[in-house]
Amino acid sequence: MSYLVEDDPARRRFEILVDDALAGFTAYRPRGADVLVFTHTQVDPAFRGKGVGEALIRGTLDEVRRRGARVVPRCPFMAAFIDRHAAYADLVTATDEP
């Protein structure tokens, strides 16, 4: 399986393609110029249990880091991933958003 994670700013989400098929996405809301509030992650049932969700979050966070941006992980899946992978903890920032 080959993975490709890419940002779709028009849809406000990072998508993961597996062998050119859309396998999942993680949605965000921009907060200012350099913060993304992640609200929801979804993986197509056909791709669950194959590491696609983890590859999606890892690819997303790597791109956020490359941009010099930060995240607010409101999505439980992303928050749990960051809790398990401390190398990404420095990307987390707080927000005053309810």
Query: pLDDT tens across 27-51, in order?
Result: 999 998 899 999 999 999 999 999 9
| Full 3-state SS string of the chain | CCEEEEEECCCCEEEEEECCEEEEEEEEEEECCCEEEEEEEEECHHHCCCCHHHHHHHHHHHHHHHHCCEEEECCHHHHHHHHHCHHHHHHECCCCCC
Give 94's pLDDT tier (boundaries 50, 70, 90): confident
This model's pTM is above 0.85: yes
> Residue 28 in contact with residue 88, Cβ under 8 Å?
no
Domains of the chain: 3-91 (3.40.630.30)
Give 80's pLDDT tier (boundaries 50, 70, 90): very high
Q: Is residue 65 pLDDT above 80, yes or no?
A: yes
